[in-house]
Amino acid sequence: MSNSISLSKSQSISLKKADGSALKRVFMGLSWKESAPEVVTEIVKPGFLGKMFGQKEQEIQVRKSADPIDLDSSVVCFDSSGNRVDTVWFRQYEGLNGAIQHKGDNRSGGTGVGDDERINIDLSLIPQNVTTLVFTVNSFTGQTFETVEKARCRLVDADTNEEKASIDLTATGKHKGVIMAKLYRVGSGWDIKSIAEIGTGDSRTIEGLMPQILKLI
């Protein structure tokens, strides 16, 4: 039975196993579901021959399907002074000498079933100078979240596949990025904190989100 906690905004929990020991290998999964295509009514007029044979205008229902939204998950690594140490995203699938691995860019659109993207983290291999990992989701192609019906991320114990925490990221709007969560050192272990903050400005890239991220680490 899963003991996953649905984190509210700004809520945090310790990353521990059921026996109280610290988690070592985890992954952050991202999933989203797009809204159903809009259905519109179009008028089809008969052609020249159709008019001759008495055909009339017809109303037909047409689904207006946009291109699938391509969301990209990323993680930015910081030291205790707030300096960026490394970044893992769809153009750099590995960071911190292999401690973090991005499992690939889903460009076919979200279905809402399972993880559409996943980032693996071996916490035992994170260098000691790295104290904070900030996770984001961006629409690099510039599409807005207006067509995203649902979105969530979840933190999973990779050794047991047990979900430890989830965060609802659903916020339909014209924004192009969201700061999802952060993992940060507490003593010899790690905590996760829900952020779920909508990006402002040009939030389609990590760089566009950096002014907001730096205020949160």
Q: Please provide the average confidence, as pLDDT, over all residues in the chain.
A: 87
Range of the domain at 130: 5-36+67-214
Looking at residue 164, its pLDDT comes to 96
Nearest to 137 by CA among 81, 76, 54, 215: 76
Evaluate whether residue 43 is within a structural domain. Answer: no
Nearest to 103 by CA among 91, 95, 93, 92: 93
Average pLDDT over residues 60-70: 63
Evaluate whether residue 44 is within a structural domain. Answer: no
Token readout for 1 is 């039975």
pLDDT at 3 over 60: yes
Evaluate whether residue 56 is within a structural domain. Answer: no
Evaluate whether residue 130 is within a structural domain. Answer: yes
159-172 per-position pLDDT tens digit:
999 999 999 998 88
Evaluate whether residue 9 is within a structural domain. Answer: yes
| b/e code 165-194 from CB counts within 10 Å (16+ = b) | bbbebeeeeebbbbbbbbbbbeeeebebbb
Evaluate whether residue 76 is within a structural domain. Answer: yes
Contact between 14 and 189 (Cβ < 8 Å): yes
Evaluate whether residue 41 is within a structural domain. Answer: no
Looking at residue 202, which CATH number applies to its domain? 2.60.60.30
Contact between 131 and 217 (Cβ < 8 Å): no
Find the angle CA(64)-CA(104)-CA(169) to the nearest 5 degrees: 60
18-58 per-position pLDDT tens digit:
888 999 999 999 998 887 555 556 676 766 665 666 677 77
**54 vs 175: CA distance, rounded Å:** 50
92-141 per-position pLDDT tens digit:
999 999 999 999 766 555 555 679 999 999 999 999 999 999 999 999 88
Contact between 35 and 145 (Cβ < 8 Å): no
Number of domains in the chain: 1
Evaluate whether residue 58 is within a structural domain. Answer: no
